[in-house]
Amino acid sequence: MHIGADAEWLVQPPRNQLTQAQTLTLSDRPELRIDPTTLISTGAIANVSGAQVYGVEAAATYGSFIAQGEYYWFNVDRSANTGLPPFGAPSLKFDGGYAQVGYVLTGENHAYNPATASYGGIKPHDPFSLAGGGIGAWEIAGRVSTMNLNDQVGQAVGIAGGRQTVYTAALNWYVNNNVRFMLNYLHGDVAKQVSATSTADAGSKFDAVALRTQVAF
């Protein structure tokens, strides 16, 4: 079993050298990241004075079963220079995370590497072979993830970046120690309104299927 936590601080937000404005943008893409399209985004948050990120993670294996997840909290501080009385805009808070499980149908397991604090890939007991009859290793997996970039919605100081939830089902075939194929089906749901003060619907749903190949040397 693996348990971890981390914390990060943004001490100096990006600064526009011409206007001296400090802004920060948070965004996320669908998990099939084959293009740069982002469906949820805070846009440029004005007068950012700093930010903090706090995260926790856990993972465990039991025989051929593996489960893991992470969760993060984001805090964005805004200075009194927002022009909003009486003390500027309050801090913004966002959060997101995922949980996933997998099971190797052919009996192999994910080995833990203490040096990198991570679980490795599958090494088939019987690598695929037309001559020898090996079928490689087969794994099924499921995952759900969410990212919430909304805060203080309904107020002029709020951010309506949207909330994205993605459900994934996967079938992985480990041909041998060097080659694997990954078949994924994803269903995504994006809940988003036009702005913090407008409830007009700007959300969307999507479905995607992808077949990927990975070769390791």
Give CA–CA dist 80/217, Å, rounded.
Answer: 54
Amino acid of residue 153 = V
Give CA–CA dist 39/28, Å, rounded.
Answer: 7
For the chain, domains (ranges, CATH) are: 2-215 (2.40.160.10)
Q: What is the pTM of this model?
A: 0.88
Amino acid of residue 37 = T
Q: Is 10 in contact with 186 (CB distance < 8 Å)?
A: no
Please give the biggest Cα pair distance in the chain. 78
Give CA–CA dist 26/40, Å, rounded.
Answer: 9
Backbone angles phi, psi at 80, to 5 degrees: -80, 5
Amino acid of residue 215 = V
pLDDT tens track of the chain, all 217 residues? 999 999 999 988 888 888 778 899 999 988 887 778 899 999 999 889 899 999 999 999 999 999 999 999 999 998 865 555 445 568 999 999 999 999 999 999 999 999 998 999 899 999 999 888 899 999 999 999 999 999 999 988 899 999 999 999 999 999 999 999 999 999 999 999 999 999 999 999 999 999 999 998 8
